[in-house]
Amino acid sequence: MRRPLPASLRLGLGLCLLVLALAAAGAVWTPFPPQAMDLAHAMAGPGPVHLLGTDDFGRDLLSRLLVGMRLDLMLALASVLLSGAAGLAVGLLAARLRGLAGDALMRLVDLLYAFPAILTALMLVTVMGASTTSLVVVLAAVNLPVFVRLTRSMALSLNEQPFVEAARAAGAGPWRIALRHVLPGVLPTLLVQAATALSGAFFTEAALSYLGLGVQPPTPTLGNMLSEAQGFLAVDPWMAVPPGLAVALCVLAFNTLGDGLRDRLAPGGGPPGRSGRAAPFPAPSAAPAQVGRDHALVIDA
Amino acid sequence: MRWLPLTAAGALALTLLASGGLAPTRAAAAPTLNVAVSTDPAGFDPQATAAASTFEITFNIYDTLATVDPKGNLVPDLATGWSVSDGGRTWTFRLRSGVRFSDGTALTSQVVKASFERLLSKAEASPWQPLYADIASISTPSPTVVQFHLSAPSAPFLANVASPWAAIVDPQAPDLAQHPVGTGPYELLSYVPGQEVTLVRNPYDWRHGIPAIPKVVFHIVPDPQTQLIDLKTGEVQAVPGIAPQDVAALKGAPGIRVVTGPSPFIQVLAMNEAWGPLKSLLVRRAINYAVNRQAVIQGAFFGYAVPIGTHMTPASPYYVNLTGMYPYNVAKAKALLAQAGYPHGFSVTITAPSNYEEHVRTAEIIAQELSAVGIRAQVVQVPWATWLSKVFMGRQYQMTVIAHTAKLDPDTLLSIYESTNPQDYMNYRSPAYDALIERARTTTVLSVRRALYAQAQRMLAENATAVYLDAPDTIVAESTRLSPWPIYPIDVLPVAYLRMR
Amino acid sequence: MAAYVLRRFLSLLGSVLLITAVTFLVLRALPGNPAELMLGMDAPPGALQALSRHLGLDLPLPVQYLSWLAGAVHGDFGRSLLFQLPVGTLIAQRLPITLALALLALLLGLAAGIPLGVWAASRRSPLPSAVTAVFAQAGLAVPSFWLGTMLALVFALDLRLLPPDGVAPFRTPLALLAHLLLPAVTLAVPQAASTLRLVRASVLETLERDFVRTAQAKGLGQGAVLYRHALPNAMAPVATLIGMHLGALIAGTIIVENVFSIPGLGSLVVQAVAARDVPLVEACVAVFATCVVAVNFLVDLTYRLWDPKVVEA
């Protein structure tokens, strides 16, 4: 039986489509070349020529916004894909390895988690040079431990499930079990986490730009537009408004999508193994979002 | 069920009210001058460090034999006068009498000698030792006369002796980095890292009626926007070194005045003469024609800079105005490029240190201007550490935007182009130039030095070694209660002569 | 259990040791060395070699690390290159400030997040859910450097209610609180938003449970069911989350400390990395890592105490 899509999911999908549409628009057309300077018309407010006004170099804010949004979106997608895939693989492996090896692997993940993300970012960017590639790696590294921990804890609890034990009794090998039985159980939750991580990526990109670790100017991203505007807050506060709203829109879109997916995939918050007893963990359906958000905070807050 | 959020909101409101009365904490004590600075000093031992953040403050704690006035003249300080003899090899300084350190120790020629010996000692490993390597011996014919015997005549010697790192310290003091002992107008009362440096009047100060303000607190405030808020709320009375774009935000602010003056910095677009197309003189000249200095000054410094044409600050008496050599001319730049064999331009990177916003902005503007003559320039931002290591020491770069800091003697600016200098990061090689600089360093006749340095500056400009862009202004925002801030030709924050209503 | 605690404690020590070693290697492998940074462009040529030798930078890396470690074991963390002060002094001065800021932010976050979350779970009208959803999303969507500057502009500059930046000494707690309030609120807003979401989800889930339904069937009022039965059970995940929040908050003070000129550990570590101030970075990282690893350890321990089933994991 098909249930209607939850309202949150419909809203999330709608907002994400809007973000996608704006980013796609930036790919094919912008009112002005995003890097064309016009120092004579710097810091102009919104008007008929420059719809959203100009920045401190007299560059068109709307054009930069559209292009920046596309770049941010690509950064977010690439980094989440990377950290999700790597996290899934390492998490499944960690769930398979028992005893010392598994413990050691998890301690390594904890290590990455314990290392202040801002320092990871600082060092990675210094070593690799500030570029879009290094930013993808940095954002992925920030998210990786969350995906690993999530995958592992879910895989461990799924391993105890009757249907998995039945498969094991029927002689299925460990990898077969991991791929056939555990993976499908893990994926929906990872998808929810991925949406949250996507929204976190916009946030983190902005924070890294504030610390001067973002994408090279003059290439616009929402983050470096916002942090550039920060330097002019006293003179021209408007400059911070369009990129600020755009960051908020993107974060909102993917957060809502994550909420919607959660409502859809785990209605009533019912994770595997619900029991009458108070759950010791935050319910996995709720926890991932929290963990992911925390991690973004390590950088941002 | 609905009372919970209300309670939380109420608690928050109460906290706000309770703390509201505590807001004006710093402005309360009247005779104190509060200054916002952006970084901590690297200790208070001027001999031990190369950090400008130290000299900015220690300038008020220590004195030197000679010192500099706001116009850049070398004037008596702890020495009341000096003379040169033995063909420039012997410098004799007569000491001021009755001078005491802040711990009561009397200043004698022995102490001056010990202070310099400390500067030169292996154990202290002062970074400035190479500047004083030519001191063969120091003698003290009387308690008020000290003599420096040099191995060779040295024209920059007086400037070196007047530089902040040549401060006369109390050599008996056990830990100058934490507990400075000097003869300056102020002594250190307390230092809380990351928060504030508090100076109070030196009880033994030899100046009369100076300093006028008995207590000065330097607040360490890294964020420039927060510095401005501090000034507007009266938490501080002076912000030396605000960003040029913020001047507009202060226009019309009641009780605030903006003081500007020449800074010790010159900004250049350095070109690596050992790299590809930049080996060609024609190409370097083309780039000089293609860069519009006025656009840089407007776009990156919002008008608060003056154009330069060579590697010297306009504030220096040695400066030669060569700004007319390469007027902005796109057609000429294109023609020169074509003549050099690059009719369609080439690709190049401009490295800029990411912590200096003005250099990054300048690089962005230049990249845009170069595209007009077909040169595809890409800006690469690197952290300061990487810039020093890769560009300055390693010479692994193509073009870079950076500022050089003028010192008291022109030799420090111009000698970096000497072929043998490890800091010759532009790879300029000219035996004729080397000889010029060497001669200028050893002659003590002022008019000859001036002529030699003028020639050196012209050589650099004609060789188009760099695009010599501009000399930014130092901009100080201060309360109108304060007398106008003195702007010096070196990077110091002198507060002793300030007055406050 | 004792064996487990001991094993985890040893692994905690090992983790911190490994982190300092990795940090050391990475820091020295990064372009730029401490001596170059101390000298900048201003020092005369020739100074670099002498200073490198003076700082022991010409020694092999393992020797440098081990000599640092030997000092650290004896409580001597060396002298900061950047501040020319003993590292121990700097840490002792700054850690309490960061801890105070993080704790205050945690308290504010919980004080706002828990009641709002409970309110959001109210099913009697759609209003609470909608209002809190907007707050939760907005709280998570505003970059903190922007929020911090805005709060300073409004509360410090326009209204003159609170000091714009800096801290006050611990002996004047009220003044300290006044200084820390704006930065703590900046930090707490996203924390509150995420706490709200968790509490809401957790309460909603608990309300579905059998024992709650039983209580409802017994005819208990909405409020009684919520506060006596649902809330205590819903708090379990929140309790474990506090640990994680604190760890994240301590590390997350970096930007806020920068905006508000708070002399804490967060702003210190960024400065130290930029200056390649090896002894200072090492000490900061060790402190950060110990905090986060220890908090993680406590969280895991709580899991175990709640649910013996996890022992095998």
Quote the pTM value: 0.82
Average pLDDT (B52-70) is 94
C18 contacts in chain A (CB < 8 Å): 111
Q: What pLDDT, on the 0 to 100 scale, is given for residue C313?
A: 36
Name every residue whose Cβ is closer than 8 Å to that of residue A151 and which is 6 or more positions away in sequence: A87, A88, A90, A91, A92, A94, A95, A186, A190
| Confidence bin at B15 (pLDDT 50/70/90) | very low
What is the identity of the amino acid at B434? Answer: D
Tokens of A267: 């209605």
B450: nearest Cα among B295, B314, B319 = B319
In chain C, alpha helices (H): 2-29, 34-39, 47-55, 61-73, 87-120, 126-141, 144-151, 173-207, 210-217, 222-224, 231-259, 265-274, 278-306
| Confidence bin at A3 (pLDDT 50/70/90) | low
Yes or no, beta carbons of C237 and A301 under 8 Å apart: no
Yes or no, beta carbons of C162 and B193 under 8 Å apart: no
Name every residue whose Cβ is closer than 8 Å to that of residue B157 and which is 6 or more positions away in sequence: B91, B134, B148, B150
Yes or no, beta carbons of A37 and B243 under 8 Å apart: no
Tell me the nearest-neighbour CA distance from B293 into chain C, angstroms. 24
* HSE-CB for B490 with a 13 A CA cutoff: 29
Yes or no, beta carbons of B245 and A235 under 8 Å apart: yes
Name every residue whose Cβ is closer than 8 Å to that of residue B254 and which is 6 or more positions away in sequence: none
In contact, B457 and B414? CB cutoff 8 Å: yes
* HSE-CB for A99 with a 13 A CA cutoff: 0
Architecture of the domain delimited by C91-306: Orthogonal Bundle (1.10)
Q: What pLDDT, on the 0 to 100 scale, is given for residue B468?
A: 97
Tell me the nearest-neighbour CA distance from A161 into chain C, angstroms. 13
Domain boundaries along the sequence of chain C: 91-306
C288 contacts in chain A (CB < 8 Å): 114-116, 119
Instruction: List, as one string, the DSSP characters of C102-162.
Output: HHHHHHHHHHHHHHHHHHHT--S-HHHHHHHHHHHHHHHHS-HHHHHHHHIIIIIIIS--S
Yes or no, beta carbons of B194 and C41 under 8 Å apart: no
Interfacial residues of B (vs A; Cβ cutoff 8 Å)? 224-225, 228, 243, 245-246, 248-249, 295, 298-299, 354-355, 357, 360-361, 364-365, 367-368, 379-383, 385-386
Q: Are strands B376-382 and B256-262 parallel, antiparallel or unpaired?
A: unpaired
B381 contacts in chain A (CB < 8 Å): 130, 212, 216-217
Tell me the nearest-neighbour CA distance from C254 into chain A, angstroms. 8
Residue from the list C32, C40, C163 with its beta carbon closest to the beta carbon of B50: C40
Whole-number average pLDDT of chain B: 90
Tokens of B414: 């111009």
Search chain A and give the residue with CA nearest B249.
A235
Q: Which residues pair with B188 in a beta bridge?
A: B199
Proportion of chain A above pLDDT 70, given as a percent: 85
How many whole angstroms separate alpha carbon B192 and alpha carbon B206?
A: 28
Q: List Cα–Cα distances, A241 to A31, B74, B248, C142, C227, in angstroms.
A: 19, 51, 20, 11, 42
Q: List Cα–Cα distances, B210 to A251, B240, B275, in angstroms.
A: 58, 21, 54
A244 contacts in chain C (CB < 8 Å): 142-143, 146
Q: What pLDDT, on the 0 to 100 scale, is given for residue B244?
A: 92
Q: What pLDDT, on the 0 to 100 scale, is given for residue B125?
A: 83
In contact, A51 and A297? CB cutoff 8 Å: no
| Confidence bin at B7 (pLDDT 50/70/90) | very low
Chain A with chain C: Cβ pairs closer than 8 A: 180
pLDDT digits (tens, 9 = 90+) for B249-302: 888 889 999 999 999 999 999 999 999 999 999 999 999 999 999 999 999 999
Please report which helix (H) or strand (E) contains residue B16, including its range: helix B3-20
How many whole angstroms separate alpha carbon B330 and alpha carbon A36?
A: 18
Yes or no, beta carbons of B243 and A231 under 8 Å apart: yes
The residue whose two tokens read 């007569």 is B94
Average pLDDT (B57-86) is 93
How many whole angstroms separate alpha carbon B91 and alpha carbon B158?
A: 9
Top pLDDT among A174 and B160 is at: B160
Yes or no, beta carbons of C256 and A301 under 8 Å apart: yes
pLDDT digits (tens, 9 = 90+) for B183-203: 999 999 999 988 899 999 999
Least-confidence region, from B24-33, B66-75, B341-350, C233-242: B24-33
Q: List Cα–Cα distances, C49 to B125, B127, B177, B423, C287, in angstroms.
A: 10, 10, 22, 13, 32
Q: What pLDDT, on the 0 to 100 scale, is given for residue B111?
A: 96
* HSE-CB for A71 with a 13 A CA cutoff: 25
Q: What is the DSSP letter of B70?
A: T
Yes or no, beta carbons of B364 and A212 under 8 Å apart: no
Q: List Cα–Cα distances, B32 to A147, B216, B217, B467, in angstroms.
A: 55, 6, 7, 44
B128 contacts in chain C (CB < 8 Å): 43-44, 47
Backbone angles phi, psi at B348, to 5 degrees: -150, 155
A112 contacts in chain C (CB < 8 Å): none
Tokens of C12: 């905690």
Q: What pLDDT, on the 0 to 100 scale, is given for residue C127?
A: 78
Q: Would you say the C-alpha torsion B243, B244, B248, B251 has a positive or negative sign?
A: positive
A156 contacts in chain C (CB < 8 Å): 313
Subunits with 3+ Cβ pairs within 8 Å of B are A, C
Yes or no, beta carbons of B388 and C116 under 8 Å apart: no
Using the predicted structure, report yes or no on whether residue A224 has a pLDDT greater than 60.
Answer: yes
Name every residue whose Cβ is closer than 8 Å to that of residue A41 and which is 6 or more positions away in sequence: A50, A54, A58
Q: Is C214 on the interface with A (CB under 8 A)?
A: no
Yes or no, beta carbons of B177 and C40 under 8 Å apart: no
| Confidence bin at B472 (pLDDT 50/70/90) | very high
Q: Is A248 on the interface with C (CB under 8 A)?
A: yes
Using the predicted structure, report yes or no on whether residue A261 has a pLDDT greater than 70.
Answer: yes
How many whole angstroms separate alpha carbon B478 and alpha carbon B33?
A: 11
How many whole angstroms separate alpha carbon C212 and alpha carbon C228?
A: 10
What is the identity of the amino acid at A31? Answer: P
How many whole angstroms separate alpha carbon A248 and alpha carbon A232?
A: 20
Q: What pLDDT, on the 0 to 100 scale, is given for residue C77?
A: 86
In contact, B82 and B66? CB cutoff 8 Å: yes
Tokens of B72: 């850049």
- Name the CATH superfamily, with its identifier, for domain B265-473: Dipeptide-binding Protein; Domain 3 (3.10.105.10)
Name every residue whose Cβ is closer than 8 Å to that of residue B299 and which is 6 or more positions away in sequence: A37, A39, A42, A57, B361, B362, B365
pLDDT tens for chain C, residues 1 to 313: 788 888 878 877 887 888 888 888 887 777 778 888 888 888 888 888 888 888 888 888 888 888 888 888 888 888 898 888 899 989 998 889 988 998 899 899 989 988 888 888 876 667 777 788 778 878 877 878 778 878 888 888 788 888 877 788 788 888 889 999 999 999 999 888 888 888 887 888 777 777 777 777 777 776 777 777 777 777 766 766 676 666 667 656 878 888 788 888 888 888 888 888 888 988 888 887 787 777 777 777 766 665 544 444 3
Q: Which of A110, A142, A143 to mutate to test the interface with C (most CBs of C within 10 A)?
A: A110
Using the predicted structure, report yes or no on whether residue B168 has a pLDDT greater than 80.
Answer: yes
Residue from the list C137, C153, C303 with its beta carbon closest to the beta carbon of A252: C137
Q: Which residues pair with B35 in a beta bridge?
A: B218, B238
How many whole angstroms separate alpha carbon B156 and alpha carbon B260?
A: 28
Yes or no, beta carbons of A234 and B246 under 8 Å apart: yes
Please report which helix (H) or strand (E) contains residue B362, including its range: helix B357-371
Tokens of B410: 């022109």
In contact, C116 and C196? CB cutoff 8 Å: yes
A270: nearest Cα among B224, C201, B318, C233 = C201
Name every residue whose Cβ is closer than 8 Å to that of residue A221 and which is 6 or more positions away in sequence: A68, A71, A72, A75, A205, A209, A214, A215
Yes or no, beta carbons of A37 and B385 under 8 Å apart: no
Crossing angle for the helix pair B357-371 and B293-301, to the nearest 10 degrees: 140
Average pLDDT (A24-33) is 88
Longest CA–CA separation in chain B, Å: 94
How many whole angstroms separate alpha carbon B356 and alpha carbon A68?
A: 23
Q: What pLDDT, on the 0 to 100 scale, is given for residue B25?
A: 44
Name every residue whose Cβ is closer than 8 Å to that of residue C180 and which is 6 or more positions away in sequence: C100, C101, C104, C167, C262
Top pLDDT among B433 and A10 is at: B433
The number of helix segments (H) and strand segments (E) in chain B equals 14, 18
Q: What pLDDT, on the 0 to 100 scale, is given for residue A244?
A: 87
In contact, B14 and C161? CB cutoff 8 Å: no
Name every residue whose Cβ is closer than 8 Å to that of residue B12 and which is 6 or more positions away in sequence: C108, C111, C112
Backbone angles phi, psi at A139, to 5 degrees: -60, -40
C112 contacts in chain B (CB < 8 Å): 5, 8, 12
Subunits with 3+ Cβ pairs within 8 Å of C are A, B
C117: nearest Cα among C235, C38, C3 = C235
Least-confidence region, from A188-202, A248-262, C246-260: C246-260
Tell me the nearest-neighbour CA distance from B223 into chain C, angstroms. 6
Yes or no, beta carbons of B226 and C261 under 8 Å apart: yes
